Amino acid sequence: MPQRSSQPDPAPGRAPDGAPERLHRVVALVDDNTNPFELGCAMEVFGLRRPELGRDRLYDFALCAPEPRTVMRDGFFTLSGVAGLSAADTADTLIVPHRPDVEVPRRPAVLDAVRRARARGARLVSFCTGAFTLAEAGVLDGRRATTHWQWADAFRARFPAVRLEPDVLFVDEGDLLTAAGSAAALDLGLHLVRRDHGAEIANAVSRRLVFAAHRDGGQRQFVERPLPRIPDESLAPLLAWAQERLDTPLDVAGLAARAAVSPATLHRRFRAQLGTTPLAWLTGERIALACRLIERGEARFDVVARRSGLGTAAHLRALMRRETGLTPSAYRRRFGPAGGEALRRSA
């Protein structure tokens, strides 16, 4: 599971007390040779209306570009009719360009827009090779980041001051978030929705996308390597079985027994297929269940801990703080029924 170090303000984009609520503004910056796929991911996650959630939108979303006409990747089409680069100065979250021509320097106007956003405290996000844009702007020095595995060596050579983690799907550094190759843009987008609006909303968005709300593991499973002579059996049946029994005393030995393999073999299969350990996967699933229970109104944390298989309220508190950056009480204030109703009234 990708590591997370810090969390943003509990209500990013929220107006000061006494002022009308406003939507968090997400701006995606488009430049020459931008990849349309990641741009589409941003529009799907942050730009669509959400009538199924009882509100118009989750975010105020816009595109901007440094020129009136932008030629997209490999000349597939030309984008026009979007806002100018000044729109980047209004973003609470700025998504930077993601281009396959990583050796081509980004234009100074784009890098200046990134630096201005950083200086005023905006959240910066990159998809795929967009990490090159952030690094070239100088905002990733000394920070953790990821990018597409295919360009990892080139990134390290060019930006040695950045702590590259090439084996994860995304890295959350609080105010700087980077996603790995292409589809990981959806992983990071859903993570941001979960961080901003809670697990229930993120799950609803993932269902509309027909995409898993959590993909455990990392991009190491996609790196080119020789195929084994005998492929490992799928973990899917075991995972489905365990997800229905999270409130029971499951452990690694029990999972291995269910799969009829040794614990060592189970560890190898989890590492190969999910890029994580059985215990880390099980803990992540239990935390996600605990979050859902709190969002649905369960106020007794001992009950949440018991029903999610986390044992005690103290253990729940420690793990939730580690995984989400919030205590159960803080999570309830932000994402519980009362907080969700306030968000719906403000949308």
Q: Helix (H, G, I), strand (E, B), or coil: what is residue 309?
A: coil
The pLDDT tens digits of the residues spanning 189-230 come to 998 998 898 888 888 888 877 665 555 544 443 344 333 333
Dist CA 132 CA 147 (whole Å)? 8
**What pLDDT sits at residue 49?**
87
- Burial (CB count <10 Å: 0-12, 13-18, 19+), residue 116: middle
Residue 292 pLDDT greater than 70, yes or no: yes
What per-residue confidence (pLDDT) applies to 334? Answer: 84
**With contact defined as beta carbons under 8 Å apart, do 242 and 248 qualify?**
no
Q: At what angle do helices 184-197 and 199-209 cross, to 10 degrees?
A: 150
pLDDT in tens, 119-145: 999 999 999 899 999 999 999 999 999
Find, among 118, 145, 133, 147, the residue nearest to 34 by Cα.
133
Class of domain 25-209: alpha beta
Q: Tell me the domain boundaries of the chain.
A: 25-209, 234-345
pLDDT of residue 205: 86
99-114: per-residue pLDDT in tens? 888 888 888 999 999 9
User: Taking all residues of the chain, what is their mean pLDDT, rounded to a whole number?
Assistant: 83
In angstroms, rounded to a whole number, what is the distance separating the alpha carbons of residues 234 and 211? 19
CATH of domain 234-345: 1.10.10.60
Asked whether residue 29 carries a pLDDT value surpassing 90, the answer given is: yes
